[in-house]
Amino acid sequence: MGTNHRRGDSNIMIKRILIADDQLATREALTKHAARLGYEVVAVANGVELLTIASEERFDAVITDLIMPDLNGVAATEIMKLQGHTTPVIALTGLSPQDIGLFEDKFTKVYHKPIEIKELFEHLDSLLKNIK
């Protein structure tokens, strides 16, 4: 689903990811790391913005915080799935493993904060490598 961009003589598929986190520092760190790895990134601050952008544009993956103002990442993910989105969603949380047990299966993977950015993007790369 990535975007075709022409670099030199080869077509390179640029993967697009949507990042939703209410903490500016987390959003910026994830965005900068993703951009360095060649991802095209759109970053938003809450679940309402996540749903708005996800309904207007196509993404190869979503990375969302679970606890955000206005609409949390769990509810936003459930609404996306009800709308027919099949985009993989990776969750980030400061909640304990016991607290996320009820909704962990809604996500491709859940990372507990503080996250290891390198590990997150290794997983994302692996997840997206077969998407055309």
By the 10 Å C-beta count (0-12 exposed, 13-18 middle, 19+ buried), 23 is classed as middle
Domain ranges of the chain: 3-128
CA distances from residue 24 to 19, 39, 92 in whole angstroms, order as listed:
11, 19, 14
Fold classified for 3-128: Rossmann fold (3.40.50)
Tell me the per-residue pLDDT of 84-110, one tens digit each, with 9 for 90 and over.
Answer: 999 999 999 988 877 777 788 899 999
Which pLDDT band holds residue 12 (cuts at 50, 70, 90)?
A: low
Prediction pTM value = 0.88
Supply the pLDDT for residue 2. Answer: 56
Q: Give the whole-angstrom CA distance, residue 59 versus residue 127.
A: 13
Q: Give the whole-angstrom CA distance, residue 85 versus residue 122.
A: 23
Q: Is the pLDDT of residue 119 over 50?
A: yes
CA distances from residue 33 to 40, 50, 95, 105 in whole angstroms, order as listed:
11, 20, 24, 26
Q: Which residue has the higher pLDDT, 132 or 7?
A: 132
Q: Is the pLDDT of residue 6 over 50?
A: no
